[in-house]
Amino acid sequence: GAVVSQHPSRVICKSGTSVKIECRSLDFQATTMFWYRQFPKQSLMLMATSNEGSKATYEQGVEKDKFLINHASLTLSTLTVTSAHPEDSSFYICSATPGEEKLFFGSGTQLSVL
Amino acid sequence: AQSVTQPDIHITVSEGASLELRCNYSYGATPYLFWYVQSPGQGLQLLLKYFSGDTLVQGIKGFEAEFKRSQSSFNLRKPSVHWSDAAEYFCAVDGDTGRRALTFGSGTRLQVQP
């Protein structure tokens, strides 16, 4: 079946540094990918929609300058958390669709900012 | 705006007992409906989905869900729960059908007693 690979699965960084998270569709082309954020014991909240070759669409309240999204190819979207702070610590998860009413999720990235 | 309500934050059942997890949605039309399961620190696994057609949907691991338009509900059921079913369960909707950006409910944590 289709697989979405997300890397790294876990990252710890110092406050003020930037962290890049990759989301790859391994066996299909994904014109659209989505990024979600999940705080401990809470639900997933959509952060942004990543479209190949164009700017991402951010949900209300999500800082686009802090959460940089790049979708440079049909199989890769990256989320960069810039100047990370402890309040950015969260579980980030991506999803990708090849169309045809299909949707696949990555395994998530646990970000801890010290 | 579309919304998803999972009224039960936490449910405990005995192994072998039946299970029903509730999900109600608010949307003008019939959205695409999903149930996902998440183990601690893990990504999401799709249990089942409803797009159209038969309102009783069969999923993996012995789960099923029934779409009731009159009640705007999509409750998840399992006739006999196994200890391995202990996890967090999320109901989600794709109200902008075709876009695949999901709105998630707040989740229901299932505990299974021996």
- The answer to whether A68 and A82 have CB atoms below 8 angstroms apart is yes
Residue B47's pLDDT is 96
Distance CA B23, CA B106 (A): 10
pLDDT of A79 > 70? The answer is yes
- A79, β-bridge pairs: A21, A69
Q: Which amino acid is at A49?
A: T
Q: Which of A32, A33, A103 to mutate to test the interface with B (most CBs of B within 10 A)?
A: A103
In chain B, the domains with their CATH numbers are 3-113 (2.60.40.10)
Residue B24 · residue B4 · CB < 8 Å = yes
**B25 to chain A nearest CA, in Å?**
15
Q: Is the confidence at residue A4, as pLDDT, over 90?
A: yes
Residue A69 has pLDDT above 90, yes or no: yes
Candidates A46, A105, A110; nearest CB to B101 = A46
A43 → chain B, closest CA residue: B106
Give the list of residues 6+ apart from residue B45 with CB closer than 8 angstroms, or none: B36, B37, B38, B60
Taking only the tens place, the pLDDT of each residue in A6-50 is 999 999 999 999 999 999 999 999 988 999 999 888 889 999 999
Sign, CA torsion A35/B110/B112/B61: negative
B55–chain A nearest CA distance, Å: 17
